[in-house]
Structure 1
């Protein structure tokens, strides 16, 4: 048999290292298509001249382009038979990715736990993105619910990794040369700087985007993500194609420009949960809460910790979670990240 049906839950064990296939060389094409698929317009990723004024040689590709590319490499080995991608932790962007870089991915299994129904289990992996110089550009942990292929396979000993609640400020990696002392707020699109934001402040990003099947499938193919649930309408009992969670992340991040235009670079992913499934026809909206702030050693550069919440359809006049601890059904994404902003 020459075809590959993907790994099932019983095929994973703690300590297993998987080198993912198909390295990818990125170009300006990915940037152009990313900006066509999402309303992304942060200046540092859009203009070589703006990036040069901020101490960088050229405009890097959007941080989420790097994330999606690295993530997509891992899908055939980690989540081809997934029920759902459940969450993220301990993510760090270690080096900007620029046009011409070639990325590959490697994952290590760090935890497994079979579900009580005996039909699936949760697998935790730490994935690293590596460039053509063998430099790590990105790392993160994610956990996935994966179907069992053999329902009679014995349950493995449960190993649940102890993950940090957030990436500490000291562990943030500031891109070499980054300098916001000559930052042009007019060209960036907003005047609000790091000092203007207060911990506890909530920013409604106002706009919404209605998702279409064609667009989310094109985006998911762009990252070479082959998970069946995103393409095959027969894969789910309801006949719907599940929207790739990363598509919702990029939509929400792009919407956050309105109010956070100067939160230029994502440098860490503290935690994240795809709270509820998203389908074509849903209108995605977003708001952010300021969780923390810190200065960095880089000239004029501050770090701001943000909680980005994406929800569907109407106004978010609801508690994120009920008394049972479950997310409200309209919540799609709950993402906690660090970004860099001019002081």
Structure 2
């Protein structure tokens, strides 16, 4: 009897299945530093203890995307070790801040399954919950992933596709982590623009591009303890339709979000993930560009509002013309809510 884990295949999943994922991870200042080195993220809230203390925090919290990738990575050996691709996300909420020294773990519930018409793969829908060392829920989200079948002749389960909301309603948004009371330093944050300065329908070109190198994306994915074969095993990928290693979609999200600093520096804290999809794969040597569209706005408390933002990433072509998701070089559509201070909370 083998003692190694070959991962679950599509026919092994069923609706209602609960998965308690292995390897809790304590996030440290070292993890934060490495994440910054790999993404170039510059949001002041996550870069400076002193800046965070102005928001009545003890120190800088950890970037929500590093939290998301860490929780996501816990789930890979059980859900997507044999995945073809991660397809999308829905109704994600960051429910409590995470600080260096906190330990994260994850559990998932299978909420849907549907075999593809080729009979070789199927879609698995899961709701994942991330918890800290106190058992408090810090993150919850839904994702769906295409998974290989071990035996193409295995009978298909009855299809169940969950009814997922298109977005997180503003009234369901978590309370922002910092509380700004007329002491938000816009110069240190890097932008003079507050909640009132953004209009629904406005598009923002983030201008800068970032080329992804082979070692960088593999190191980032290892940081998250994501063991999916498609990101690491060149021999396996040589036999795939792509012929080379895929870059983990979370790397694309983080790099596009880092580029979004140029134009959205004050919209640092991600409160919720409304939806997202990886439109096309990214490979080492490709260059990412990004732009954002303001889809909606909502007033919050603590001197802040929220922007609903649609982040589009492209590869190897500047995003200055605001290409849509149907553009041949679009690779990511990421719909999220971000907290942003009111101008009345800012100091020059």
Normalising TM by the smaller chain, what interval?
Answer: over 0.9
How has the CA–CA distance of structure 1 residues 338 and 42 changed in structure 2, closer, same or farther, with 3 Å as cutoff?
A: same
Counterparts of 1:140 and 1:287, CA distance in 2? 24
- 1:141 Cα shift? 0.2
Counterparts of 1:37 and 1:19, CA distance in 2? 29
Matching residue of 1:113: 114
Matching residue of 1:153: 154
Match of 1:261 among 262, 265, 268: 265
Counterparts of 1:233 and 1:254, CA distance in 2? 28
Match of 1:302 among 305, 324, 335: 305
CA-to-aligned-CA distance 1:290-337 (integer Å, 9 cap, x gap): 0001101x221111100000001113447525xxxxx33311100000
Matching residue of 1:334: 333
| Secondary structure of the structure 2 residue equivalent to 1:67 | helix
Counterparts of 1:147 and 1:336, CA distance in 2? 28
Q: Quick check: 1:223 aligned with 2:224?
A: yes
Confirm or deny: 8 A CA contact 1:181 1:299 kept in the other structure.
Answer: no
Confirm or deny: 8 A CA contact 2:176 2:269 kept in the other structure.
Answer: no
Q: Kindly report the root-mean-square deviation, in angstroms, between the aligned alpha carbons of the 2 structures.
A: 1.1
Q: Quick check: 1:293 aligned with 2:292?
A: no
Consecutive unaligned residues in structure 1, runs of 5 or more? 322-326
Map residues 179-190 of structure 1 onto 2, 5 A cutoff: 179-190=180-191
Matching residue of 2:40: 39
Confirm or deny: 8 A CA contact 1:180 1:301 kept in the other structure.
Answer: no
CA-to-aligned-CA distance 1:5-29 (integer Å, 9 cap, x gap): 1000000000000000000011101
Consecutive unaligned residues in structure 2, runs of 5 or more? 343-348
Matching residue of 2:346: none
CA-to-aligned-CA distance 1:241-260 (integer Å, 9 cap, x gap): 10000000000000000000
- 1:177 Cα shift? 5.6
- 1:150 Cα shift? 1.2
Confirm or deny: 8 A CA contact 1:86 1:144 kept in the other structure.
Answer: yes
Confirm or deny: 8 A CA contact 1:14 1:110 kept in the other structure.
Answer: yes
Task: Point out the more displaced range, 266-275 or 236-245.
Answer: 236-245
Confirm or deny: 8 A CA contact 2:260 2:290 kept in the other structure.
Answer: yes
Matching residue of 1:252: 256
Matching residue of 2:67: 66
- 1:264 Cα shift? 1.4
Confirm or deny: 8 A CA contact 1:318 1:328 kept in the other structure.
Answer: no
Number of matched pairs = 337
How has the CA–CA distance of structure 1 residues 53 and 331 changed in structure 2, closer, same or farther, with 3 Å as cutoff?
A: same
How has the CA–CA distance of structure 1 residues 9 and 180 changed in structure 2, closer, same or farther, with 3 Å as cutoff?
A: farther
Q: Quick check: 1:284 aligned with 2:288?
A: yes
Matching residue of 1:314: 317
| Secondary structure of the structure 1 residue equivalent to 2:207 | strand
Confirm or deny: 8 A CA contact 2:207 2:318 kept in the other structure.
Answer: no
Confirm or deny: 8 A CA contact 1:305 1:337 kept in the other structure.
Answer: yes
Q: Quick check: 1:92 aligned with 2:96?
A: no
| Secondary structure of the structure 2 residue equivalent to 1:235 | helix
Counterparts of 2:181 and 2:85, CA distance in 1? 39
Counterparts of 1:283 and 1:226, CA distance in 2? 24
| Secondary structure of the structure 2 residue equivalent to 1:207 | coil
Counterparts of 1:119 and 1:290, CA distance in 2? 39
Confirm or deny: 8 A CA contact 2:52 2:178 kept in the other structure.
Answer: no
Q: What TM-score do the two structures reach when normalised by structure 1?
A: 0.96
How has the CA–CA distance of structure 1 residues 27 and 242 changed in structure 2, closer, same or farther, with 3 Å as cutoff?
A: same
Counterparts of 1:196 and 1:86, CA distance in 2? 34
How has the CA–CA distance of structure 1 residues 180 and 305 changed in structure 2, closer, same or farther, with 3 Å as cutoff?
A: farther
How has the CA–CA distance of structure 1 residues 107 and 44 changed in structure 2, closer, same or farther, with 3 Å as cutoff?
A: same
Confirm or deny: 8 A CA contact 2:308 2:337 kept in the other structure.
Answer: yes
Q: What TM-score do the two structures reach when normalised by structure 2?
A: 0.95
